[in-house]
Amino acid sequence: MTKRLVKSTNKKLFGVAGGVAEYFDIDPTLVRVGFVVLCVCFFLLGLVTRPLAFMFSGEMAIAYFYSHQPRTFWPILNLGEDVILFCFVFLYLSAVGGGPWVLDRLYCREKSADT
């Protein structure tokens, strides 16, 4: 029987990290930590800033609704103001991009100069 790479029933990080861990027979926590470290490094370097910022914004929204919103509606009363702030900052970054100094901009500039 051949192995198949499928999403795991363990739904942390969309089930992808658990599926990769099951495929390679390693601990899913190591795959999750590696995935998060890789995403943060790409985000800080400016590679694929917009999709990662959109993903981080969604993660912050999920964190707010799972952890803070059941206590009370207002973020200042349920101690969720930092999560809401990060959610909207990441959403803003996904809309405008990382700025003029990110590596994505250099790649796009080289690509447009070739045409």
Domain positions in the chain: 1-45, 46-115
60-91 burial code (b ≥16 CB/10 A, e <16): bbebbeeebbeeeeebeebebeebbebbeebb
- The pLDDT of residue 84 is 92
* For the chain, percent of residues with pLDDT exceeding 70: 80
- The pLDDT of residue 97 is 82
Burial class (CB in 10 A: 0-12, 13-18, 19+), 53: buried
- Residue 111, SS3 per DSSP: helix
Comparing 1-5, 55-59, 98-102, the range with the smallest average pLDDT is 1-5
Residues in the chain: 115
pTM above 0.85, yes or no: no
**48 or 4: whose pLDDT is higher?**
48
- The pLDDT of residue 39 is 81
Q: Report the distance separating Cα 80 and Cα 91, nearest Å.
A: 17
- Residue 1 pLDDT greater than 80, yes or no: no
Mean pLDDT in the chain?
81
- The pLDDT of residue 10 is 67
Average pLDDT over residues 14-34: 81
Q: Report the distance separating Cα 87 and Cα 62, nearest Å.
A: 9
- The pLDDT of residue 67 is 87
